Amino acid sequence: MRGRQCGLVLGRFQPFHLGHLEYVEAARSRCQRLFVGITNPDPESRVATSADPARSTAENNPFTFAQRRAMIEASLWDLGWTDRDFAIVPAPILQVDRLLHYLPPPSETTAFLTVYDEWGEQKVQLMRSLGYAVDVMWRRDHASRVASGTQIRTMLADGTDWHPLVPDAVARQLADRDHLAS
């Protein structure tokens, strides 16, 4: 049964992988419409944080907002989702003055979060401080992840088979390696 009117998930999605898909599907089952907030949507929004300094570097953010949006849309459409089920928005999470311009109102939205590390804990506190109801869907260690963007980016670079770690729609897009050129 779906709860709150709006749900919100947050991630860099560099690239969108099966762990992200698990997260998004779990959140969607708990709300009527899911907003997928893409963090670090542009180079100016990449702010270093002591909890996860690597998340702001250019090499860890190779895909543009548009590329990530296309990966997510295609993956969710493959599952039969429609535009009524979700919306994809920029989410410059460390620029709070900008962030609130893109997200649905806290009064009707639950932020569905997952925690793997200190950065995840900081997101929980940040979203609560902004007035969002927060549902921590799970806490896991890094070893329990289904996949990681770092792992997939490394595999893309060294030619290791990354296909089993991403939805088919993402595999189709990443197979066209032109957008990976620097």
In order of start, what are the domains of the chain with their CATH numbers? 4-108+121-177 (3.40.50.620)
Kindly state the average pLDDT of the residues 134-153.
92
120-135 confidence digits (pLDDT tens): 999 999 999 999 999 9
Q: Is the pTM of this model over 0.95?
A: no
What was the pLDDT predicted at 49?
A: 66
Q: What is the pLDDT of residues 4-44, one digit of tens each?
A: 699 999 999 999 999 999 999 999 999 999 999 999 998 77
Q: How far apart are CA 145 and CA 23, in angstroms?
A: 11
| 182 pLDDT tier (thresholds 50, 70, 90) | very low
pLDDT confidence of 118, banded at 50, 70, 90? very high
